[in-house]
Amino acid sequence: MDGITGKTIAITGASSGIGAATARHLAQAGAAVVLGARRVDRLDAVVAEITRAGGRAVAVETDVRRRADLERLVGVAQAEYGQLDVLFSNAGSMAVSGFDELDGDAWQQMVDVNLTGVLNGIAAALPVFRAQGSGHFVHTASTAAHRIAPTMGVYAATKTAVRVLSEGLRQEAGPSLRVTVVSPGFTDTEGVGVGATPEVAAALVARRDAIAIPPEAVARAVAFAVEQPAGVDVGEVVVRPTAQD
């Protein structure tokens, strides 16, 4: 993966699931990874695993809802490794429920994490990418942005918004920047159903346990986009279980 070796890649939501799997995969391929998440103990464990294997990794406590935290994540990448080549905005909330539940707090959480978190990453990294003359945004959306199901309306709306803003960013980026959307289907992560109503969470977990792909499958999709030569932009990768509708 010559297109990954030597790059500095920052990842949010990196303490578990897709973020952690992608960190391991990219570090093994020769990237330096800067890992952001709120759960510092879990984050430190991923960093320790990567460094024991001979990789380069640092942890930065990051709440993507706060722009200052994204600015700090980007700043650490520059301070530690001299540059930032890729920002993978992966942190997400799946606190889903039916509209009749009127769970406004969960709606706001999904908007704040899934959408505002991506915007905060753009705001933090875009000036750096412009100054460098290169850079790559990778954003996690979802197959929910392609096919909406009951109880998933607000979640799907936030992920659809990520696809829309990513395309808008791509059109404004110019020839020196790249923008990729990765849209996973059911993936075997602990975040499935967290914050959802009990009945919805149970159904999601059962579905996950029956058909989910491993997070490493999504990590490979991210790597595919990152490793492309300059001038090649992978716009979107959809990766899902073969058994998923």
Report the DSSP pairing between strands 56-61 and 177-184.
unpaired
Contacts with 12 (C-beta within 8 Å, 6 or more apart), sequence order = 19, 36, 37, 62, 64, 70, 73, 88, 89, 90, 91, 117, 121
Q: Catalytic one among 81, 88, 155, 186?
A: 155
Residue type, 238: V
Cα–Cα distance, 184 to 215 (Å, whole number): 9
Strands (E), 106-201: 135-140, 177-184
Q: Is 137 helix (H, G, I), strand (E, B) or coil?
A: strand
- Strands across the sheet containing 86-89: 56-61, 32-37, 8-12, 86-89, 135-140, 177-184, 236-239
Cα–Cα distance, 73 to 161 (Å, whole number): 23
Q: How many other C-beta atoms are found inside a 10 Å radius of the C-beta of residue 216? A: 15
Q: Is 155 marked active-site? A: yes
DSSP bridge partners of 138: 88, 180
| Active site residue ranges | 155
